[in-house]
Amino acid sequence: MATHSELAEEGAIQIVIIKTTGDKILSQPLADIGGKGLFTKEIDEALLNGDIDIAVHSMKDVPTYLPDKTILPCNLPREDVRDAFISLGAASLAELPSGSIVGTASLRRKSQILHRYPSLNVLENFRGNVQTRLRKLNEGVVQATLLALAGLKRLNMTENVTSILSMDDMLPAVAQGAIGIACRTSDDKMANYLASLNHEETRLAVACERAFLETLDGSCRTPIAGYASRDENGNCIFRGLVASPDGARVIETSRQGPYAFEDMILMGKDAGKELLLKAGPGFFDC
């Protein structure tokens, strides 16, 4: 989703909907077709080609590196980062009968589910938009699914939520619930517009989490979760984990420090280095 000022009247905005490869190819796991960058590739190309002036991304889908000649100076206020549990027959993951099938395309969710509830089965590659996943649930393909609460709120579809998972039950994906807006490095006009929209608390939290992810250099086949937030004293609390896809191993860590950019980048990197060490060689191999 983006804007193109040249085609719009002065002071108006044109919204361009761009369907990405990640949206189109639903039959295969993301890791098999190129990873999460497939949700940003076509939008990045349109930005660099000058077809659009700003690019709006779900930060969860943005690779830890940005394309050359682009910057991302703006994060909007973050939505609720938690995951929602949706089921027609159970109030929570704990209440699902043994052998129940939970649908998710996320290895992060799969590993945390199986770690706590090994008697459940997880249907992988449960992809598609929210409506598609809910239809499969209603058809009995799965007994439950998990979706980001942020997406359901933005779609005004929270009436489908059975319950909300706590951070202890399901640590969110890095940058979950955050929207980022990018522009070309050379476009000072757009950069200034975006700077005025930036929500600094969100930007710093996302930067911390992305520093953690970048240090781990995890593939789409490595379950990784991370969340930075401000505590009641104004400090940053960071929690991160890595897991084996089957949930047998979950390795967690946490950090606390000043809610400031440099400190939070260091916290994210340091937490990532600790988990790399704890996980050992081969843990992040495809």
Confirm if 239 and 224 have CB atoms less than 8 A apart.
no
Cβ neighbors of 136 (< 8 A, separation 6 or more) are: 103, 126, 128, 142, 145
Confidence at residue 7, expressed as pLDDT on a 0 to 100 scale: 43
pLDDT at 4 over 70: no
- Helix, strand or coil, per DSSP, at residue 112: helix
Gyration radius of the chain over CA positions = 19
Domain with CATH 3.40.190.10 in the chain: 83-164
The whole-angstrom separation of Cα 156 and Cα 188 is 35
Stretch 24-51: mean pLDDT: 69
How does pLDDT run across 148-166, given as a tens digit for each residue? 999 999 999 999 999 999 9
pLDDT at 19 over 70: yes
Q: Hey, which residues are catalytic here?
A: 61
Share of the chain above pLDDT 90, in %: 77
Domain with CATH 3.30.160.40 in the chain: 5-79+174-279
Q: Which amino acid is residue 123, in one-letter code?
A: L
Helix axis angle for 261-279 and 200-216, nearest 10°, is: 30
Confirm if 100 and 214 have CB atoms less than 8 A apart.
no
Which position has the higher pLDDT, 262 or 2? 262
How does pLDDT run across 185-215, given as a tens digit for each residue? 999 999 999 999 999 999 999 999 999 999 9
At which residue do the structure tokens 């260091």 appear?
266
Q: Cβ atoms within 10 A of the Cβ of 68, count?
A: 8
- Helix, strand or coil, per DSSP, at residue 68: coil
Confidence at residue 217, expressed as pLDDT on a 0 to 100 scale: 81
Architecture of domain 83-164: 3-Layer(aba) Sandwich (3.40)
Q: How confident is the model at residue 21 (pLDDT cuts 50, 70, 90)?
A: low
How, if at all, do strands 144-148 and 101-103 pair?
parallel
pTM of the entire predicted model: 0.87
How does pLDDT run across 48-88, given as a tens digit for each residue? 999 999 999 999 989 988 999 999 999 999 999 999 999 99
Cβ neighbors of 70 (< 8 A, separation 6 or more) are: 44, 47, 48, 55, 182, 183, 184, 185
What's phi and psi for 184, nearest 5 deg?
-75, 145
Bridge partners of 15? 3
Confirm if 148 and 175 have CB atoms less than 8 A apart.
no
The whole-angstrom separation of Cα 109 and Cα 122 is 9
Stretch 91-114: mean pLDDT: 96
Cα angle 64, 70, 72; round to 5 = 60
Confidence at residue 5, expressed as pLDDT on a 0 to 100 scale: 46
pLDDT at 273 over 90: yes
CATH superfamily for domain 5-79+174-279: Porphobilinogen deaminase, C-terminal domain (3.30.160.40)
Confirm if 216 and 276 have CB atoms less than 8 A apart.
yes
Whole-number average pLDDT of the chain? 89
How does pLDDT run across 240-252, given as a tens digit for each residue? 999 999 999 999 9
